[in-house]
Chain A
Amino acid sequence: QVQLQQSGPGLVKPSQTLSLTCAISGDSVSSNSATWNWIRQSPSRGLEWLGRTHYRSKWYNDYAESVKSRIIVKPDTSKNQFSLHLDSVTPEDTAMYYCARESTGAYSDWGQGALVTVSS
């Protein structure tokens, strides 16, 4: 049973960087069969896939076009976790953020969610 535990600040000031972490238990961030994803949800944008990291002999990242210029998803093998960094945030980035594991096309495991508010 894979569990994902999210952590990070709930309030970020405009123009700053939003950073969240997703700690993994029951699998490895270096798994050759899983991808590690960030998803957000807001009333205005619905559910939105943001990006992912995965390891297939080397590390790969993919990002949604809507945030591609200001997002980084990074693995941390020493802590078996992965993180989201979203630069230059605006109030439009206020949302519930989820991490999720995908393997062989199946989104089987989700974090509990973290509400991030962008406000001064």
Chain B
Amino acid sequence: QTVVTQEPSLTVSPGGTVTLTCASSTGAVTSGYYPNWIQQKPGQAPRALISNASNKHSWTPARFSGSLLGGKAALTLSGVQPEDEADYYCLVYYGGAWVFGGGTKLTVL
């Protein structure tokens, strides 16, 4: 069974920079896995921020960026705002099926 692993929790100060990562049990995450980054705030439906590793949606704030880094998918927040406190999930494609990571709870403190 394929497992996608994320940091369970991270804390960042307002205005700071933080990088969340997404690793696959099958090996390196590449663009062929079409990694998505999904944000979810309490009581809300998930909302996609990044697709295909680094593509932003029209609603994605400029401070969010996605990349492939050292065999993992990565989501970097630069100039973190209090409203960025949320759960972040990566979603990875394995040829016919998608698998979510366990999510990272980001605290802005």
Name the interface size band of chain B: 20 to 34
Measured between beta carbons, the chain A residues less than 8 angstroms from B80 are none
**A106-B57 contact in complex given A37-B98, A46-B100, A48-B100, C-beta closer than 8 Å:** yes
Contact in complex: B45, A113 (CB < 8 Å): yes
Per the CB 8 Å criterion, the residue count for chain A at the interface is 22
Interface of B is mostly: strand
CB distance from A109 to the nearest CB of B (A): 8
Contact in complex: B99, A107 (CB < 8 Å): no
Q: Which residues of B contact A (CB under 8 A)?
A: 1, 34, 36, 38, 45-48, 51-52, 55, 57, 89, 91, 93, 96-100, 102-103
Q: Which residues of A contact B (CB under 8 A)?
A: 37, 39, 41, 46-49, 62-65, 98, 102, 104-108, 110-113
